[in-house]
């Protein structure tokens, strides 16, 4: 692609980019079990300190902000899930787990899933294939070592994918990815038009609390919103 003059990009080039990863067959069933009207997947991204570390910075105040998530936020979430008898998926950068491995135990003991969310919350769209593969494999192995269970789910940090991400997810044997937004129900991912066997459990910014509640002063692009306004 011509980033300076995208209108000069040849058709073959933009078609190749668009077709690199696409949504394939829909996987929504004709009806949900037990007469349910709908289904949803509840998940949490436990970036913690890697929200800062993954940018190459280490401001003490922002690291403490990340520590709050592990120390206070996750225990509160686990309490709510237990009271409602609901299980969920927790996507954890490997470094966030390695900082305090014992903090993963309450999650798995409660029957929740741990999924891969990068090594240090790195931007995968900036990586070459070999580096991305190495980090994805290391992250999966580290989480398996800490929890005793091999992760089967993958979510790219920042939901940023490279052209190789989905091929690597398939190659390394993940059952599903949860980083893309082509539908609001599950679908199979295609790579260059070919089925990958990887299920996509789609995400969307409007269903992420960060859009509404995460105050971020640098860059100042995410305004703080009251919980009442979010519920409305």
pLDDT tens sequence across 109-138: 999 999 999 999 999 999 999 999 999 999
Cβ count near 22 (within 10 Å): 15
Dihedral through CA 135, CA 141, CA 147, CA 151, nearest 10?
A: 80
Distance CA 101, CA 144 (A): 11
The model's pLDDT over 42-52, given as tens digits with 9 standing for 90+, comes to 999 999 999 99
Q: What is the architecture, at CATH level 2, of domain 19-201?
A: Alpha-Beta Barrel (3.20)
Q: How many residues does the chain have?
A: 232
Q: Where are the beta strands (DSSP E) in the chain?
A: 21-26, 43-45, 89-92, 113-116, 153-154, 176-177, 187-191, 194-200
pLDDT score for 232: 79
Q: Which residue reads 């989480």 in tokens? A: 143
Tell how strand 194-200 and strand 43-45 pair up: unpaired
pTM for this predicted structure: 0.94
The domain spans of the chain are 19-201, 205-232
The model's pLDDT over 201-213, given as tens digits with 9 standing for 90+, comes to 999 998 898 888 8
Identify which of 93, 59, 108 has the alpha carbon closest to the alpha carbon of residue 216: 59
């Amino acid at each position: 692609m011509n980033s300076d003059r995208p209108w000069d990009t040849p058709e073959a080039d933009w078609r190749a980019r668009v077709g690199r990863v696409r949504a394939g067959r829909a996987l929504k069933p004709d009806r949900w079990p037990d007469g349910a009207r709908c289904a949803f997947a509840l998940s949490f991204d436990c970036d913690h300190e890697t929200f800062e570390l993954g940018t190459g910075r280490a401001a003490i105040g922002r690291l403490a902000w990340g520590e709050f998530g592990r120390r206070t936020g996750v225990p509160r979430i686990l309490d709510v899930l237990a009271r409602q008898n609901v299980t969920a998926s927790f996507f954890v950068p490997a470094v966030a787990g390695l900082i305090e491995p014992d903090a993963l135990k309450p999650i798995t003991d409660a029957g929740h899933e741990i999924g891969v969310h990068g090594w240090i919350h790195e931007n995968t769209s900036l990586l070459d294939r070999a580096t991305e593969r190495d980090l994805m494999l290391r992250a999966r192995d580290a989480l398996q070592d800490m929890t005793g269970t091999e992760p089967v789910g993958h979510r790219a940090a920042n939901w940023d994918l490279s052209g190789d991400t989905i091929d690597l997810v398939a190659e390394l044997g993940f059952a599903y990815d949860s980083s893309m937004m082509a539908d609001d129900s599950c679908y199979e991912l295609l790579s260059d038009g070919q089925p990958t066997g990887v299920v996509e459990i789609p995400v969307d910014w409007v269903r992420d609390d960060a859009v509404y509640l995460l105050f971020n002063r640098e860059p100042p692009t995410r305004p703080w919103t009251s919980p009442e306004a979010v519920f409305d």
